[in-house]
Homo-oligomer: A and B are copies of this chain.
Amino acid sequence: MTSNREIHLASRPIGWPTDDNFRLVETEVPTPGPGQIVVRNQYMSVDPYMRGRMNDVKSYVAPFALDAPLDGAAIGEVVASEAANIAVGTTVLHGLGWREYAVLDATAARPVDPNVAPASAYLSVLGMTGLTAYAGLLEVAAMKPGETVFVSAAAGAVGSLVGQIAKLKGAGRVVGSAGSPAKVERLRALGFDAAFDYHDGPVRDSLRAAAPDGVDVYFDNVGGDHLEAAISVMNLHGRAAICGMIAQYNATEPPAAPRNLALVIGKRLTLRGFLVNDHNDVRSAFVSDVAGWLREGTLSYDETIVDGIENAPSAFLGVLRGDNLGKMLVRV
């Protein structure tokens, strides 16, 4: 019998996580109960929002438990089934990543067709990541053709899709910020009209130079100085879709700012936080649009793949540091 390895949360990080916060645990491959399946995971998603669940605070999802496996989106092949409607060999999407073998109720798994798109795409462009970009830009911020869009962490999984979808939906100008010259180069290749490295100077100055006519829509993945800069540069009636604030996930002090928040009054700005699970109403439009763009070859998606479940903690630290281009995945 093969063994199963999984990653447990050994302790709650204070500030930046370290390897000590995680533990690789060897267990037995689980056996399915009635109505259950066992999935051998192929890929798991590593996402910045998981950092919040490592804190023991009330939030929109329960915190991870100590001394138990972490979880998150994953895709894999069914290797044992006690469920009538899911056969061994089916590829399924589910929520129990951070382990080699997952046992779960068949109702909690969604079969996908690995011949339509590579399995990993269901965790990125065709999955929650893609829907987050699509719904945040088009529903939450209600981008209109001709507008100028700014997206932060633009070389990340969500950001790179936001910028491309904006162009495909008729944005007048798309500006992205990222954390290295290589990423900035990649944004230009993806069709961004302007891109800057936020290390090169105050974000506000870089943004103003990149968007001389101001910003109508800001898609926020960073918070902090990026949100403050966006508020400064936004035009009247601008809208910000607040998706993430990675700048402060590891902060031990509450962040100041944005110190110019009073500008929302005179500029009549709207700042709106959102979670993708509220936007299933646009899922069919999303799937249809994205499938079309992928067929045409007008939408690209980058993946940064780390091999081996034992390296999942360092992949997670990497996504917090911004080591990834596009979606950070672990090939289990």
Contacts and interface: CB of A to CB of B under 8 A. Distances in A.
A259 B260 CA distance: 13
Nearest to A236: B60
Contacts of A242: 264-265
Interface stretch (A32-40, A197-205, A207-215, A250-258): A250-258
Contact of A265 (B259, B262, B270, B274): B274
B243 A265 contact: yes
Contacts of A243: 265
A313 interface: no
Nearest to A238: B273
Interface string A237-278: 000001111001000001111111111111111111111001
Interface string A275-288: 10010000000000
Instruction: Tell me whether chain A's interface is mostly helix, strand or loop, or mixed.
Output: loop
B258 A259 contact: no
Contacts of A256: 254, 256-257, 259
A3 interface: no
Interface residues of A, number: 33
B273 A272 contact: no
A131 to B, nearest CB: 15
Contacts of A261: 223, 227, 245, 255, 258
B266 A60 contact: yes
A227 to B, nearest CB: 8
A115 interface: no
A254 B255 CA distance: 13
Contact of A273 (B258, B266, B275): B266
Interface of A: 52, 59-60, 223, 227, 242-245, 248, 254-275, 278
Given A59-B266, A254-B256, 17 more contacts: A60-B267, A223-B261, A223-B262, A227-B261, A242-B265, A245-B261, A245-B262, A255-B259, A255-B261, A263-B273, A264-B272, A265-B275, A266-B273, A268-B273, A268-B274, A270-B272, A271-B272
